Chains A and B, each alone.
Chain A
Amino acid sequence: MTATENPPTKYKYIGTRPIRHDGYDKVTGKARFAADKDLPGQLRGSFLRSPHAHARIVSIDTSAALIMAGVKAIVTGADFPTLDVKNPSHDIAVNLMARDVVYYNGHAVACVAATTKPEADAAAAAIVVEYELLPAILTIDESLAEGAPLVNDNNMTKFVESDGPSNLATVTELGRGDVDEAFAAADLVIEREFDTADVHQGYIEPHACIVDVGLDGRADIWASSQGHFKVRALTAATLGWDTARIKVTPAEIGGGFGGKTTIYLEPVAARLSEISGRPVKIVMSRDEVLRATGPAPSSKSRVKIGATNDGELTVMEASLAYGVGPFGDMAGLVGAMSIASYKMPNLKLHSVGALTNTPKTAAYRAPSAPHAAFAVESVIDDVAQALDMDPIDLRLKNAAVEGDLTAMGMPHPKIGFIECLEAMADSDHYKSPVPEGAARGLGTGFWFNIGEQSSATVNLNEDGTATVITGSPDIGGSRASMALMAAETLGIDVYKITPVVADTESVGFTDVTEGSRATFATGMAVVHACRELIEELKTRAAKMMEVEVDTVSWVDGAAVSDGKDPVSLAAITAKAKRTGGPLTATGSLTAAGAGPSFAVHCCDLAVDEETGQVTILRYTAVQDAGTAIHPSYVEGQMQGGSVQGIGWALNEEYIFDTDGALENASFLDYRVPVASDLPMIETIIVEVPNPSHPYGVRGVGETGIVPPMATIANAIQRATGTRMTSLPMSPPKILAALNEA
Chain B
Amino acid sequence: MPRAHLMTDHRRFTDGEAVIEVDGATVGAVIGELERRFPGLGEVLTHASSAGVDGEIHAEPEYLEVGPDTDIYFVAPLAGG
Q: Which residues of A contact B (CB under 8 A)?
A: 158-160, 172-175, 201, 257-259, 261, 330, 333-334, 337, 363-367, 406, 408-411, 413-414, 447-452, 514-517, 590, 592-594, 691-692, 699, 701-702
Contacts known (A174-B9, A410-B75); A450 close to B57, Cβ less than 8 A: yes
Residues in A neighbouring B60, C-beta threshold 8 A: 590
Residues in B neighbouring A366, C-beta threshold 8 A: 80-81
Contacting pair A410 B59 (CB below 8 A): no
Residues in B neighbouring A201, C-beta threshold 8 A: 81
CA distance A594 to B77 in the complex (A): 14
For B8, give its contact among A175, A257, A592, A594 (CB under 8 Å).
A175
Contacting pair A408 B75 (CB below 8 A): yes
Nearest CB of chain B from residue A67's CB, rounded to whole Å: 44
Q: A408-B73, A515-B78, A592-B56 are in contact. List 16 more A-B contacts (CB 8 A).
A: A172-B9, A174-B7, A330-B76, A330-B77, A334-B79, A406-B75, A408-B75, A409-B6, A409-B18, A447-B80, A448-B57, A450-B59, A517-B80, A593-B55, A692-B56, A702-B81
Contacting pair B80 A516 (CB below 8 A): yes
Contacting pair B76 A172 (CB below 8 A): yes
Give the nearest-CB partner of B49 in chain A. A159
Chain B CB within 10 Å — which of A159, A409, A447 has the most? A409
Nearest CB of chain B from residue A348's CB, rounded to whole Å: 9
For B44, give its contact among A159, A261, A367, A517 (CB under 8 Å).
A159
Nearest CB of chain B from residue A591's CB, rounded to whole Å: 9
Contacting pair B9 A594 (CB below 8 A): no
CA distance A685 to B6 in the complex (A): 35
Identify the 7 closest CB pairs spanning chains A and B, nearest first. A258-B81, A515-B80, A410-B73, A363-B81, A413-B55, A593-B56, A592-B56
Residues in B neighbouring A413, C-beta threshold 8 A: 55-56
Residues in B neighbouring A447, C-beta threshold 8 A: 80
Nearest CB of chain A from residue B58's CB, rounded to whole Å: 5
Contacting pair B79 A409 (CB below 8 A): no
Contacts known (A408-B75, A409-B73); A592 close to B58, Cβ less than 8 A: yes
Convert B63-81 into 0s and 1s, putting 1 for each residue whose CB lies closer than 8 angstroms to a CB of A.
0000000000101111111
Contacting pair B81 A514 (CB below 8 A): yes
Can you offer 12 A-B residue contacts whose CB atoms are under 8 A? A159-B44, A173-B8, A173-B9, A174-B8, A201-B81, A363-B79, A411-B55, A413-B55, A447-B80, A452-B59, A593-B56, A702-B81
Residues in B neighbouring A173, C-beta threshold 8 A: 8-9
Contacting pair A450 B9 (CB below 8 A): no
CA distance A257 to B52 in the complex (A): 26
Give the nearest-CB partner of A408 in chain B. B75
Contacting pair A450 B55 (CB below 8 A): no
Give the nearest-CB partner of A403 in chain B. B55
CA distance A577 to B59 in the complex (A): 42
Nearest CB of chain B from residue A518's CB, rounded to whole Å: 11
CA distance A517 to B78 in the complex (A): 12
Nearest CB of chain B from residue A115's CB, rounded to whole Å: 38
Contacting pair A408 B7 (CB below 8 A): yes
CA distance A449 to B57 in the complex (A): 10
Nearest CB of chain A from residue B9's CB, rounded to whole Å: 6
CA distance A515 to B76 in the complex (A): 14
Residues in B neighbouring A337, C-beta threshold 8 A: 75-76, 78
Q: Which residues of B contact A (CB under 8 A)?
A: 5-9, 18, 44, 48, 52, 55-60, 73, 75-81
Contacting pair B78 A450 (CB below 8 A): yes
Contacting pair A451 B80 (CB below 8 A): no
For A515, give its contact among B18, B58, B79 (CB under 8 Å).
B79
Contacting pair A257 B81 (CB below 8 A): yes
Chain A CB within 10 Å — which of B6, B60, B76 has the most? B76
For A159, give its contact among B9, B58, B79 (CB under 8 Å).
B9
Contacts known (A159-B9, A410-B52, A413-B55); A448 close to B81, Cβ less than 8 A: no
Give the nearest-CB partner of A160 in chain B. B9
Residues in B neighbouring A334, C-beta threshold 8 A: 76, 78-79
Give the nearest-CB partner of B58 in chain A. A592
Residues in A neighbouring B73, C-beta threshold 8 A: 408-411
Residues in A neighbouring B52, C-beta threshold 8 A: 408, 410
CA distance A364 to B81 in the complex (A): 5
Residues in B neighbouring A514, C-beta threshold 8 A: 79-81
CA distance A592 to B58 in the complex (A): 6
Nearest CB of chain A from residue B6's CB, rounded to whole Å: 8
Residues in A neighbouring B55, C-beta threshold 8 A: 411, 413-414, 593, 691-692
CA distance A174 to B60 in the complex (A): 22
Contacts known (A409-B7, A515-B80); A159 close to B57, Cβ less than 8 A: no
Residues in A neighbouring B80, C-beta threshold 8 A: 258, 363, 366-367, 447-450, 514-517, 699, 702
Nearest CB of chain B from residue A289's CB, rounded to whole Å: 16
CA distance A448 to B59 in the complex (A): 13
Nearest CB of chain B from residue A567's CB, rounded to whole Å: 38
Residues in B neighbouring A363, C-beta threshold 8 A: 79-81
Nearest CB of chain B from residue A257's CB, rounded to whole Å: 6
Nearest CB of chain B from residue A600's CB, rounded to whole Å: 20
Nearest CB of chain B from residue A431's CB, rounded to whole Å: 33
Residues in A neighbouring B48, C-beta threshold 8 A: 158-159
CA distance A160 to B57 in the complex (A): 23
CA distance A363 to B78 in the complex (A): 12
CA distance A337 to B52 in the complex (A): 14
Residues in A neighbouring B77, C-beta threshold 8 A: 330
Nearest CB of chain B from residue A259's CB, rounded to whole Å: 8
CA distance A45 to B81 in the complex (A): 28
Residues in B neighbouring A158, C-beta threshold 8 A: 48
Residues in B neighbouring A414, C-beta threshold 8 A: 55
Residues in B neighbouring A701, C-beta threshold 8 A: 81
CA distance A259 to B6 in the complex (A): 32
For B79, give its contact among A175, A367, A408, A590 (CB under 8 Å).
A367
For B81, give its contact among A365, A406, A408, A452 (CB under 8 Å).
A365
Contacting pair A409 B76 (CB below 8 A): no
Nearest CB of chain A from residue B49's CB, rounded to whole Å: 9
Contacting pair A590 B81 (CB below 8 A): no
Contacting pair A330 B9 (CB below 8 A): no
Residues in B neighbouring A261, C-beta threshold 8 A: 81
CA distance A699 to B78 in the complex (A): 14
Residues in B neighbouring A406, C-beta threshold 8 A: 75
CA distance A702 to B55 in the complex (A): 21
Residues in B neighbouring A692, C-beta threshold 8 A: 55-56
Nearest CB of chain B from residue A516's CB, rounded to whole Å: 6
CA distance A175 to B58 in the complex (A): 22
Residues in A neighbouring B79, C-beta threshold 8 A: 330, 334, 363, 367, 450, 514-515
Nearest CB of chain A from residue B27's CB, rounded to whole Å: 12
Give the nearest-CB partner of B6 in chain A. A409
CA distance A495 to B36 in the complex (A): 57
Residues in B neighbouring A330, C-beta threshold 8 A: 76-77, 79
Contacts known (A174-B9, A450-B57); A333 close to B76, Cβ less than 8 A: yes
